[in-house]
Structure 1
């Protein structure tokens, strides 16, 4: 199994363009713009929790050593938030059972991406499971709310082409430097020479203070 290829499907280099595409499709028609705002709220909440957790650990070492927890897995959270909604949107003109099946396929893909993070030793079990539950809550709440709201009825091919475009343009395996960027900002904000890392959590060590 090519775990690097699978994990790339949850990388920010793909997730950010996908989030923009979903938002654009939801906001295309005036009648579905309230749905777009709900989507942005759910997506923003999940993203904010992930960033806040990473920021707290990398800057101040806030984590749980007993659970090997340094923050929610961003790949798992974002893929479990985005893929179910993207696939649901792609079959939005189909019968209800197909929309449900598409969303379930998205959650299954999110779980597989989470497992790839374990296979690559990028995250602990607690970080992947918590990330999956956070993404499930965000996308699940959004899709549950669509029961009583008008949703887009889009054609399958244009949506799939839009969602696939980033994967066609961005070289496979390209990583967005979001993790490193958060680490630098967190370390600078906390006044440390470097970000906290997992070894610090278990050894009880901390980075040296930055010279003024």
Structure 2
């Protein structure tokens, strides 16, 4: 399996445009006008908490050597926030069993993304586990808040259009520079020449 391709399902370059697509579709497909605001809150909160955890370490060295923790895995957290909701949305009028399977796939994708982060040594187990916990908590809270929301069905062409931008981005494979931005930003606000690294976490 090509783990770097799989890990791209958690990259901000793919997830942020997909989150915007969800926000644009929800007012059209949901009978609850608040649904889009709940979605923006869930996705925005995931991004905020991930960024804060990284800034605390990169700028101020706040982490845990015991648990090898330098901040939530952004790929894990953001994918766990987005994919269950995306699959819930497009399967809105499918038969119950098929819809349950689609949502299960939405939960499976982030688990695979998280595992890929371990395989390519991008994160520690604690960072992946807490990232997944954060994302799944937010996506599940969103889905529970929408249990009485009725969704309009998608035709297969509409499903194709909904996934068109994500598929194009996946094919392009360009990665977001979020980590590099956070490193520079964290060092600047902390007045450091360079950000803290994982090696610093284990330095006596």
Q: CA deviation at 1:48?
A: 1.0
Where structure 2 has 5 or more consecutive residues not aligned to the other structure, the ranges are: none
Aligned-partner Cα distance in 2 for 1:141–1:157: 29
Q: Deviations over 1:115-144 (max 9, x none)?
A: 000000000000000111111101111111
TM-score by length of 2: 0.93
Instruction: State the partner residue of 1:202.
Output: 202
Aligned-partner Cα distance in 2 for 1:127–1:156: 37
Instruction: State the partner residue of 1:110.
Output: 110
Instruction: State the partner residue of 2:155.
Output: 155
Instruction: State the partner residue of 1:140.
Output: 140
Tell me which moved more, 13-22 or 138-147. 138-147
Q: Secondary structure at the match of 2:172?
A: coil
Instruction: State the partner residue of 1:2.
Output: 2
Instruction: State the partner residue of 2:47.
Output: 47
Q: CA deviation at 1:80?
A: 0.9
1:12 aligns with 2:24: no
In the alignment of these two chains, the number of paired residues is 204
Q: Secondary structure at the match of 1:27?
A: helix
Q: CA deviation at 1:90?
A: 1.3
Q: CA 1:152–1:70 in structure 2 vs 1: closer, same or farther (change >3 Å)?
A: farther
Where structure 1 has 5 or more consecutive residues not aligned to the other structure, the ranges are: 205-212
Q: Is the 8 A contact 2:31 2:149 kept in 1?
A: no
TM-score by length of 1: 0.90
Aligned-partner Cα distance in 1 for 2:57–2:143: 31
Q: Secondary structure at the match of 2:134?
A: helix
Aligned-partner Cα distance in 2 for 1:90–1:112: 21
Aligned-partner Cα distance in 1 for 2:139–2:30: 22
Instruction: State the partner residue of 1:186.
Output: 186
Q: Secondary structure at the match of 2:10?
A: coil
Q: Deviations over 1:37-92 (max 9, x none)?
A: 11111111111110110111111011011000001100011111111111111111
